[in-house]
Structure 1
Amino acid sequence: MKKDSRDRKTVMLHVFYRILGTAVHALLPAVLPVLNFTAPGWEIEQRLGRYQDNFHRSSGPLIWMHAASVGEVQAARVLIAALTEQIPSSYFFVTTMTRQGREAARARLPQVRCELAPLDTSQAVRQALRTVRPDAYVCLETELWPVMLRETSRAGIPLLLLNGRLSERSFRRYRLLPGFMADLLKNFTAVGVIGEQDGARFRELGAEQVQVCGNLKYDLPAADAGAMRDKYRQLLKPGGKKIFICGSTRTGEEKLLLSVYRRLRQETADKLLWIIAPRHLKRLDEVRRLLNEARLEYELFSRCAAEGRTADIVLVDSLGELADLYAAADVSFCGGSLVNKGGHNIMEPVRWRRPVCFGPFMQDFADAAEMVLAAGAGFQVKNADELADCLSTLLRDERLYAQTCQAAERLAAAQQGSAQRQAELVIRELRKARQEISER
């Protein structure tokens, strides 16, 4: 009886959702002229699934990838690169929910067609599917649109949820609708999730064919951490000094970090080498003025590379150096996080098996912050004083430092190969679909 009641509730939710969508779709023609005049950015034609019918058709498959916004676009970029390597003839269509996401997609994927996603109504979704005619649909992270999932599944198109993540808060909310969620998730022919906890939550909600794959966005190229560390430490010649790298620093941050440096230098009896890498090179003069006013000697990284280091503060003045330079660090701070700039990619220092510290402002990399903290590979602080306390403890406590390094190594290793694993899921489903068609 309880199961029957839950099934009826699920059916009613689906019916209500479809009726609501149909009503919205029916009202659109009446308000379309007004919307096109007052809100041209809505681009209603695309929202109705009316894409221009000029989709390129090659001998390879067309894969529709849905990336809700800017963060998922980066995951799409990594996955597309992995799939293109495996299937050079493949073609991709990327949709986003926001205009900002679409512009980011177009900037980062110049060879890929990127548009706005259709409204989640039966009419709009069917129109979009008829126009695009994808061979597979890939939903990135947890963008669950009921009508899109059901209509795509009914059309016999392989449907994959990749780079899936499910926070405890979202999980609790979804559990309030167990039958509805199980019904949605069973539309997926494969589910690739970031971590074990994500996998357990998806399975409990009713997902099938779940595989833990790691995070696409942080599948950084494998490299020999020891060799890279030796390369930069030979260049910097720290001797017995600890190397403290502050990467991707933003306006106002270096002033806060100055007090941190002074405290650490005092506690280490001047055995500290401080490397500052501003996010934007146009700010070099600003940082130089700050150091000059503080009467601190420094030199540019380019001069160190050419003539050898002489000062205990090094200002990085070259593009593309920081990601590998982190390998030389004993401790690192990732900028854009003590000031409200959204943070930067904390997995760059983690990949070199070293601890990373970061501030409270990590909106753009919230998933990475959650992952690093859960793994014990880094520390989040509220302000510069807490940062100094954290770094001081790490430099003093050898046991804690070793544990954090080991955690960083495990976390970085878990992400490697994520793109390949998730690309293989797509390829497997494409092959299955092709085989089913040939057997009909």
Structure 2
Amino acid sequence: MIKPLYSAATYLATPALLGYLAWRSRREPAYRQYIGERFGLRGPSAPRDALWIHAASVGEVQAMSALVRACQQRYPERPIVISTMTPSGADHVRRLFGTGVSAALLPFDQPHAMRHFVRQLSPRLAVIMEMEWWPNLFGCLRADAVPVVMANARLSERSARRYRRLPGLMREMLGTPRVISAQTRADADRLIRLGAPGDRVVVDGNLKFDASGSMDRESARGLRHDIGSARPVWIAASTRGNEEPAVLDAFRMIQKDHPDLLLLLAPRHADRFDEVEHLCQARGLRLARRSRDSAGMADAEVLLADTLGELPWLYGAADVAFVGGSLVPLGGQNMLEPAAWGLPVVLGPHTFNFTEVVKQLTAAGAAESVSNAAELARTVSRLLSDPQERANGGGRAQSLVARHAGAGERLLSRLGPLLRGDR
């Protein structure tokens, strides 16, 4: 009963979805270009019988980048298609892989749109990243007998409580994959309690540990040179609404001890770049935008990272990292990227999407949690003042990342039989 009601609701939501696309396209015109694809009016321009990987957006594309390259090496004859939910995600696919991988946008989860997408693509294998759980998508894959692997699966206790209200729908979706590759034992246990068959759930680790090893050191060195090699640099990355004011408050406090400090500020979403620029200007801060003000970076107090896909190596130009989405109750963002660069990591208290990773980093002495702007300022200022403490914490962070790498190879061994076999 729930599934038909859900499907009906997706059609009733069409006016709202059109309004959302129109609103997003005002700041990101690329949203307008994909309207046909999002509603199933135009199918994907991609090869059939491919390995199809679905990743929500830029962060998830980055997380599976090492896995994709391993698949290209192991199965060079198999075309690869990566779908995302955002134009920026599709652009990141093209930046990372060029013409070697086809990029597409997944349609909204309306029955006809998903059916058209899946049948036109007709993939050999579908790999669904993390929590992209769409009932009609899973139903179409099941109807067409497409093997499905759920990769890098995670499920917080908070999310599990919500999903338990829909037991039938969850059992149907979680019964579709041939393999559910969970990040941790706790994730696996929650997935099984939610309805996933226990014999299909395995713990392979977190792909982000593998992706963190892919670093553009040359670009990082070049940016640090342009900023000024002698200046201390603090990066506040993946920040969200209501976090930037606290970050800027902390920045002003830190400047009392480090007057030549540069704040490298990287908002999570591209449609907020102008908003964050105006916020900085309203506080009288000298700001440069990376996309257009290269000549002014050395004199800026704040460098706004308004380019997409560069965050993994922007960390390499910094001394200390704060990872956002954590001072506000949004669950945090990927803190393994700065850890892989050997940076001490500072986080807010809300990291429920990365509970195990935060536990590991904190236990290793590689991450610290703060609750407000004043604590953030004290922590960052202390780390900037003590090169030895920074080096020790950063070294522990890098060692942790190296110890936990290997999820991609384990997952690849599970994909092999499904890629080689007949459906």
TM-score (norm 1): 0.61
1:258 partner letter: Q
- Residue in 1 aligned with 2:378? 388
Summarize the Cα distance change of 1:190–1:410 in structure 2 as closer, same or farther, 3 Å threshold.
farther
- Residue in 2 aligned with 1:185? 174
Q: Distance in 1 between matches of 2:312 and 2:201?
A: 37
Structure-to-structure mapping, 1:344-423, within 5 angstroms: 346-351=335-340, 355-358=344-347, 367=353, 371-373=357-359, 375-376=361-362, 377-381=366-370, 382-383=372-373, 385-388=375-378, 408=397, 411-413=400-402, 415-423=404-412
Q: Distance in 1 between matches of 2:129 and 2:142?
A: 16
Mapped contact 1:353–1:412 kept (Cα < 8 A):
no
Q: Distance in 2 between matches of 1:344 and 1:76?
A: 15
Mapped contact 2:323–2:335 kept (Cα < 8 A):
no
- Residue in 2 aligned with 1:160? 149
Mapped contact 1:149–1:187 kept (Cα < 8 A):
yes
- Residue in 2 aligned with 1:312? none
TM-score (norm 2): 0.64
Mapped contact 2:43–2:116 kept (Cα < 8 A):
no
Q: Distance in 2 between matches of 1:421 and 1:63?
A: 17
Summarize the Cα distance change of 1:370–1:255 in structure 2 as closer, same or farther, 3 Å threshold.
farther
Mapped contact 1:163–1:193 kept (Cα < 8 A):
yes
2:32 partner letter: G
How far apart are 1:356 and its partner, in Å? 2.5
- Residue in 1 aligned with 2:38? 47
1:383 partner letter: A
Q: Distance in 2 between matches of 1:325 and 1:395?
A: 17
- Residue in 2 aligned with 1:56? 47
Q: Distance in 2 between matches of 1:289 and 1:142?
A: 39
Secondary structure in 1 matching 2:98: coil
- Structure 2 unpaired stretches of 5+: 26-30, 215-230, 238-246, 266-289, 302-310
Q: Distance in 1 between matches of 2:408 and 2:163?
A: 27
**Residues 370-402 of structure 1, C-alpha deviation per residue, up to 9 Å, x if partnerless?**
732564241132225544258759999x9xx99
**Residues 298-322 of structure 1, C-alpha deviation per residue, up to 9 Å, x if partnerless?**
xxxxxxxxxxxxxxxxxxxxx9998
How far apart are 1:348 and its partner, in Å? 4.1
Q: How many residues align?
A: 345
Q: Distance in 1 between matches of 2:312 and 2:150?
A: 33
- Residue in 1 aligned with 2:74? 86
Q: Distance in 2 between matches of 1:54 and 1:355?
A: 43
Mapped contact 1:49–1:117 kept (Cα < 8 A):
no
2:320 partner letter: F
Q: Distance in 1 between matches of 2:312 and 2:169?
A: 47
Matched, 1:333 2:323: no
2:76 partner letter: P
Q: Distance in 1 between matches of 2:300 and 2:46?
A: 54
Secondary structure in 2 matching 1:90: coil
Secondary structure in 1 matching 2:117: helix
Secondary structure in 1 matching 2:186: helix
From 9, 14, 17, give the equivalent of 2:3.
14
Mapped contact 2:51–2:126 kept (Cα < 8 A):
yes
Q: Distance in 2 between matches of 1:371 and 1:51?
A: 40
How far apart are 1:132 and its partner, in Å? 0.9
How far apart are 1:417 and its partner, in Å? 1.1
Secondary structure in 2 matching 1:219: helix
**Residues 305-355 of structure 1, C-alpha deviation per residue, up to 9 Å, x if partnerless?**
xxxxxxxxxxxxxx99986788xxxxx621575999x99864245347774
2:378 partner letter: A
Q: Distance in 2 between matches of 1:321 and 1:145?
A: 32
Q: Distance in 2 between matches of 1:246 and 1:369?
A: 27
Q: Percent identity?
A: 27
Summarize the Cα distance change of 1:421–1:339 in structure 2 as closer, same or farther, 3 Å threshold.
closer
Mapped contact 2:156–2:352 kept (Cα < 8 A):
no
Q: Distance in 2 between matches of 1:321 and 1:146?
A: 36
- Structure 1 unpaired stretches of 5+: 1-11, 224-243, 263-273, 291-318, 327-331
Secondary structure in 2 matching 1:73: helix
1:217 partner letter: K
